Structure 1
């Protein structure tokens, strides 16, 4: 494997690769900062290079992992695909739908596999919720809420020239911190068709992008969704997904299944004057609790799914097309906030 981008996220991928040393070997680490590449290589293996081009000219690899700033994902991934490599790319795949489409076209020409890191799809809480939806246990889905109430101090944005820029970050709280929860909302609710939104930069200086975004999404089923993402919520709360249907609801909070209720088959939903705080009831109650060990293992599970897809034993669960829908929602939010009008995603 070759890993491109030896920053914080690249280092995390290095750790995952080391955990899978029986199946993977890191042969090259590429970063514009050769010292940083050397440090990651010293810890997790491989040789340091200044670019993917240099690495591919000197080392034979099958898989390239892309952990550069978001606005550089496409060019690195396309170079790897043109060389016939399989690709693992950090979220989001790119900063626009158009650039994502270029990656899809390059993949189709190469005939290789690409997965986009969406590790929260592999959390136990997510798997339980999506399985219940697939079985119809929540009934007709009516609404969903994706909320990311985080705090990032000014030092976070000042830590790199690319942070908080449209060119390389592609957006702010929604594109970077909120993309995983948007991905889960789309996974649960289905195809998004329209979005309307507002954004603002209210608690940070010297950034081009938003630190607050709110929006509403309409899905092709008729269901509605609410988006809220911020890095201006001191001291920082959790990421939260709520999915509601006419027979049940699920709430995932901080990667754990905080609430689950599904009306058992053959029963009718009861009228309630107040909400319930019951953690699990009916439906998949027996399997609804989250295993903290599994939750912390989500990156490794996605890597294993990718390897399973390569050897034909599993179906790839997250591809470029999957991530494209989330990018369409997020860029639609930005367009709507800029124009003051709803944006069609069809």
Structure 2
């Protein structure tokens, strides 16, 4: 059996999810971990039985590694991705792809030129009830989609932002409630709803005055097919709520949250339509995405969430920020379209 060798750059809070997914896959081997904090790298390596650790990622990239998982702050993704591409390493990048158009596009072009795969982690796409919600739109059960809503309401206190120096800073976090937390739900919104034409938005920092970025945001979204959507994003509300997506069509409505199916109703259908399966307790989206990356390499195809696909949610978020700044509707095709 072919073994795909993995390395991890960044031993922070998300790295253990990647490590667990890698070591649980019989076709994968976790061979190295790099972090500027030697102790963090050592602790993670000990937990998952990894022999080699590095404080200099350039040294790690000299190793026989096929895939590098990028678990560094959002605004540093491109820096490490370009180095990995130059060494011929495939990459699995934590969300968001990066926080700036120029950096995302550099990543995508560098990987294309180097002939390496660039995949992204949006693990909610692997949840069976979110997949089922997308299917109801694709197979016509909802009829024509009228509206889609993303409810992305979380709570992050001052201790959260103080726990890492990059959190809440434009330079490395790239944004707040939308770019850091809400990006998962915005990915789902465009994945299910389709291509976004324009946005109009407001955002502000209403609760956490010690951060630079927004903690509260609302946006209206117009889709190319003619439907509309809304985004409600916050890290300022208590209690925190589950990520939730509601899709309204002229023949049905579905609403799904992280662990529940809240609405599943359709008009004039003779089919037996049971509510979709909820994820098992041991469902691990990172494991599915790691497994898909391995298959993408072996089959020489794109990963399930490619760099181009991961760019879309950040494009929407940056358009929202521009709309809130300018007080105007932002048309995405006139904003920063990707140039091949």
TM-score (norm 1): 0.91
1:183 to 1:32, Cα distance in 2 relative to 1, 3 A:
same
Question: Whole-Å Cα distance in 2 between the matches of residues 250 and 314 of structure 1?
Answer: 32
Q: 1:34 aligns with which of 23, 35, 38?
A: 38
Question: Whole-Å Cα distance in 1 between the matches of residues 145 and 215 of structure 2?
Answer: 30
Q: Deviations over 1:90-144 (max 9, x none)?
A: 0010002221111110111011111100111110011111122221111111111
**CA offset at residue 315 of structure 1?**
6.0
Q: Deviations over 1:162-214 (max 9, x none)?
A: 01001100000011110010000001111111111111111113210000011
Corresponding residue of 1:202: 206
Asked if the contact 1:262–1:284 (Cα under 8 Å) also holds between the matched residues in 2, the reply is no
Q: Deviations over 1:228-284 (max 9, x none)?
A: 11011112122111111111111111243322123355xxxxxxxxxxxxxxxx757
- Residues 19-168 of structure 1 mapped to structure 2, 5 A cutoff: 19-20=24-25, 22-44=26-48, 45-57=50-62, 59-168=63-172
**Secondary structure of the structure 1 residue equivalent to 2:264:** strand
Question: Whole-Å Cα distance in 2 between the matches of residues 97 and 175 of structure 1?
Answer: 13
- Residues 176-195 of structure 1 mapped to structure 2, 5 A cutoff: 176-195=180-199
Gaps of 5+ in 1: 266-281
Q: 1:246 aligns with which of 229, 241, 250?
A: 250
Question: Whole-Å Cα distance in 1 between the matches of residues 300 and 64 of structure 2?
Answer: 25
Q: 2:284 aligns with which of 263, 272, 297?
A: 297
Say if 2:9 is the partner of 1:4.
Answer: yes
Corresponding residue of 1:322: 309
**Secondary structure of the structure 1 residue equivalent to 2:305:** coil
Q: 2:294 aligns with which of 300, 303, 307?
A: 307
Asked if the contact 1:332–1:345 (Cα under 8 Å) also holds between the matched residues in 2, the reply is yes
Q: 1:343 aligns with which of 311, 330, 333?
A: 330
1:284 to 1:37, Cα distance in 2 relative to 1, 3 A:
farther
* Higher mean displacement: 146-155 or 248-257: 248-257
Gaps of 5+ in 2: 1-5, 334-340
Asked if the contact 1:305–1:315 (Cα under 8 Å) also holds between the matched residues in 2, the reply is no
Corresponding residue of 1:286: 274
**Secondary structure of the structure 1 residue equivalent to 2:278:** coil
1:287 to 1:312, Cα distance in 2 relative to 1, 3 A:
farther
Asked if the contact 1:165–1:171 (Cα under 8 Å) also holds between the matched residues in 2, the reply is yes
Following TM superposition, the consecutive aligned residue runs of length 4 or more in structure 1 with deviations greater than 4 angstroms are none
Asked if the contact 2:10–2:72 (Cα under 8 Å) also holds between the matched residues in 1, the reply is yes
**CA offset at residue 308 of structure 1?**
1.7
Asked if the contact 1:305–1:314 (Cα under 8 Å) also holds between the matched residues in 2, the reply is no
Q: Deviations over 1:293-333 (max 9, x none)?
A: 36x32221111122222222976321111111111110111
Corresponding residue of 1:17: 22
- Give the length in aligned residue pairs: 327
Asked if the contact 1:204–1:211 (Cα under 8 Å) also holds between the matched residues in 2, the reply is yes
**Secondary structure of the structure 2 residue equivalent to 1:316:** coil
Question: Whole-Å Cα distance in 1 between the matches of residues 261 and 132 of structure 2?
Answer: 9
Corresponding residue of 1:223: 227
**Secondary structure of the structure 2 residue equivalent to 1:98:** helix
1:315 to 1:96, Cα distance in 2 relative to 1, 3 A:
closer
Corresponding residue of 1:270: none
